[in-house]
Amino acid sequence: MDPTKLSKNKMLLTGIGEAQVKIIGSFEHEFEIDNENYSLTWHVVPSNKLKFEAVIGSDLLEHKHR
């Protein structure tokens, strides 16, 4: 990922246990699954703040398949 393509938005994310982390930036990514188009916003955080390579937000989990 080219860091110059990240948005300059410095949002503060709050997770389980009220832990907080400031994002480095974010980017949109469009993709297709089963002939359906989707777009996700990815928020980039410092790698030392995560135990996993990616975290799925509740907004994605609440999305219902049509």
Residue 44 pairs in a beta bridge with 25
**pLDDT in the model for residue 1:** 61
pLDDT band at 66 (very low <50, low <70, confident <90, very high): very low
Question: pLDDT tens for residues 30-64?
Answer: 889 899 898 888 888 887 776 766 666 655 555 55
**pLDDT in the model for residue 49:** 73
**pLDDT in the model for residue 55:** 64
Cα–Cα distances (Å) from 27 to 12, 17, 49, 52, in that order, read 15, 26, 19, 19
Indicate the pTM of the whole model: 0.58
Could you give the CA distance from residue 40 to residue 63 in angstroms, rounded to a whole number? 12
Cα–Cα distances (Å) from 61 to 2, 45, 54, in that order, read 27, 20, 14
**pLDDT in the model for residue 35:** 92
